[in-house]
Structure 1
Amino acid sequence: MPIATPHRPEGLADFLEARERLLAIAHHIAAGYADADDIVQEAWLRWQHTDRSVVVNPRAFLSRTTSRLSISAIRTARRRASVSAVTWLDTVPAPDADPARIAEQADDLRSAIRLLTRLLAPREQVAYILREAFGWPYRQIGDALGLNEVHARQLACRARVRLSTGARATAPVAATPAPQPALLGSFLEAVRTGDPAALIALTEQDPTEDDPSDVYFGRAH
């Protein structure tokens, strides 16, 4: 009986051949501003959604894409630094704040949660929040979600891409995400107690499977 081989997405060979160069480009351009692995992960996602039949030189295309993403990462980081960056935790109303300010922050937080539940699957929501709001390293996120570090990085990166482009997940997210009140309540509970257990529990209702193209990207390659 022949041994089944795992599906390898189209374009993978070209990407893996260029990957070390892409990491070098991202590190050279965006060092100190963004993680090179995150940038190259996003380049892989862009490559997966590119019409490769019109790409004459994949290596040059990937290098150019990575360079542009690196420059974009620098601009984003500088913009955040110069505009008193509003973080997720900044949107949590302080109990003793001005009532008008409390209402404004609560609206901002509800809008953010609404966007997450509309565009992301539960595991992406939680990975994104743990990374962006609480600053957890990918290894810690992976441990919490029962994943390895590479997989946790993929979830958070994919979430950022979908949020930045407004793209809905491939899976039917509308039927699977944590309801907005549940995600909002779990987030506020994690902020109040420092324990994200309620957030992590929301991932148990995520039956969606990952894009098979994601599993090939990582430090192991």
Structure 2
Amino acid sequence: MNECSEPTAVTSDPLPGDRRLDSATEAFVAHRNLLFTVAYEMLGSAADAEDVLQETWLRWAGVDLGTVREQRAYLVRITTRQALTRLRTLRRRKESYVGPWLPEPLLTAPDVAEDVELADSLSMAMLLVLETLAPTERAVFVLREVFTLSYDEIAEAVEKTPAAVRQIAHRARAHVGARRPRAVVSQTETRQALEAFRRAIATGDLQRLLDMIAPDIVLLTDGGGVVQAATAPIVGADRVVGVLGRIDTEMVLHPAQVNGYPALLLRMDGEIDTVLAVRIDGGLVTGLYAVRNPEKLSRVNRETAVGR
């Protein structure tokens, strides 16, 4: 999906309607990175997030701006409602997905890592935790914990009472807290782990790999039924190392910043074959996420702007 297109500029004397549309466009562009990030964190799909932004623009372009008290909150409200509608459709689509479903990886700018909370919320590990929430719980958690909206603002976005939103937020925080990584891992620690991974794979040092990973490590590979990938999680250090040891020696592994954290891009003949992200707990790698579905790899060819 292309970026949300802006209305074509006119050369004649602007009419009131033209000025209103210019104002609407200016506000939308100013908050676009925020709106995309809200939609992406709710959906885990950049393509679907772009569709949500298209729908948000169409609705925003028809709004009487004179009635809008806070443009950011209003735009987030439209985006959230559109994302909730699409999330329910997306969940049905995932039920027929071949093999494990992983979020669509984003190549992000290095400065995203400076916002620790944003980077953590974008990580593969966290997005998979958010997948375990009901749609409204996910919306409330994202809007409250990541974007710090007030309960009143969230209530308008999800069409609940503020009291109900507080209860949902409490329940979602407890759910996420029980499943998220025990601590936010530093960029340096993740980068060091990945560099050690890269060297161990490149040199065939399987013992080094075993030393780095947890005994109960889980490897998820997302091929979407399009390319070769395991159709079930691979669990256990020996099994995971066996898979890593079979990586084609002609594959070139490059470090990159993906979803706010260091990751590896595996290239074959210059083309991106796999994006490999990690989860680290207690100094050991406990999760590996390998996205191979070609339909999910277009975003790692260029940086995606995110923000809050």
Same fold (TM over 0.5): no
Higher helix share: 1
Structure with greater strand percent:
2
- Class of the TM-score when normalised by the shorter of the 2 chains: 0.3 to 0.5
Query: Larger Cα Rg: Structure 1 or Structure 2?
Result: 2
